[in-house]
């Protein structure tokens, strides 16, 4: 008679040893990077503890996916470091019912965080190869509450406006004026504003025909290249 073996703890949890390692890395990322940086919104922390960030980085870099720095994702672009993603997302104060515009799809990681926290997300990327890769990863994980567009996100997405929130993951010399008209009253925009080498991460809230804005922290992002951003060189 064959006596069935007791399942190992790994089998009991339904996760492979490698998946368990990534889960531990995410817990450490929360405790050692996000919370010390000031990310306290439990919804943001729960989403980032769940999303498999390693799937969004190139295969050779998976082991660094949860480290405290940005990573190259190809095409000269980067995925922001975890604490920056957390702070930008937290500043939007999402509750779950919102329609959000995400500019600079890149790897799709920030978009996944927004898909967890808002009702629907519209994301624009100018490089089609990145957009297509992000789409595959998001579908594989089973997100369905997003739409992608390839084009110039500095012009927003007029057909889907107005948005409750806009998150821009590329730096611009000034806030593109179309974002004001594409935000609802009281809507929140997070965007890096400044020179090509360094910027301020700005939170701007629509108050009538103007923005009430404040600087969250200094930062360094790739350029927002487009009609209302930087010119392509």
8 is catalytic: no
Out of 82, 86, 153, 194, point to the residue binding ligand SAH (CB under 6 A): 153
**46-54, 103-111, 182-190, 195-203 -> range binding ligand SAH (CB under 6 A):** 103-111
Binding-residue pattern over the window 114 to 143 for ligand SAH, x denoting contact by CB under 6 A:
----------xxxx--x-------------
Q: Which is nearer to ligand SAH, 45 or 127 (CB)?
A: 127
Catalytic site residue from 25, 80, 154, 213: 80
Q: Which is nearer to ligand SAH, 170 or 183 (CB)?
A: 170
**20-28, 99-107, 156-164, 182-190 -> range binding ligand SAH (CB under 6 A):** 99-107
Binding of ligand SAH by 222 (CB under 6 A): yes
Sign, CA torsion 202/110/52/151 = negative
Q: Looking only at residues 58 through 97 of this chain, which bind ligand SAH when binding is defined by CB under 6 A?
A: 73, 77-80
The catalytic residue positions are: 80
State the residues that interact with ligand SAH by CB under 6 A.
73, 77-80, 103-104, 106-107, 109-110, 124-127, 130, 152-154, 169-170, 222, 224-226, 229
């Amino acid at each position: 008679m064959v006596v069935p073996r007791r399942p190992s703890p790994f089998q009991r949890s339904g996760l492979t040893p490698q998946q368990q390692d990534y889960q531990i890395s995410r817990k450490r990322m929360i405790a050692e990077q996000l919370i010390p940086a000031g990310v306290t919104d439990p919804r943001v922390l729960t989403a980032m503890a769940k999303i498999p960030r390693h799937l969004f980085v190139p295969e050779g870099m998976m082991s660094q996916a949860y480290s405290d720095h940005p990573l190259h994702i190809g095409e000269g672009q980067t995925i922001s470091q975890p604490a920056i993603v957390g702070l930008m997302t937290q500043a939007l104060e999402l509750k779950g019912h919102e329609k959000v515009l995400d500019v600079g799809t890149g790897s799709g990681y920030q978009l996944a965080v927004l898909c967890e926290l808002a009702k629907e997300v519209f994301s624009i990327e100018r490089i089609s190869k990145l957009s297509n890769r992000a789409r595959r990863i998001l579908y594989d994980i089973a997100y369905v509450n997003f739409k992608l567009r390839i084009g110039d996100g500095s012009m927003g997405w007029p057909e889907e406006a107005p948005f409750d929130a806009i998150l821009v993951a590329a730096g611009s010399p000034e806030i593109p004026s179309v974002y004001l008209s594409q935000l609802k009253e009281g809507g929140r925009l997070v965007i890096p504003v400044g020179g090509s080498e360094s910027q301020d991460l700005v939170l701007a809230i629509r108050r009538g025909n103007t923005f009430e804005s404040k600087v969250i922290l200094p930062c360094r992002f790739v350029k927002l290249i487009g009609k209302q951003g930087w010119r392509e060189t």
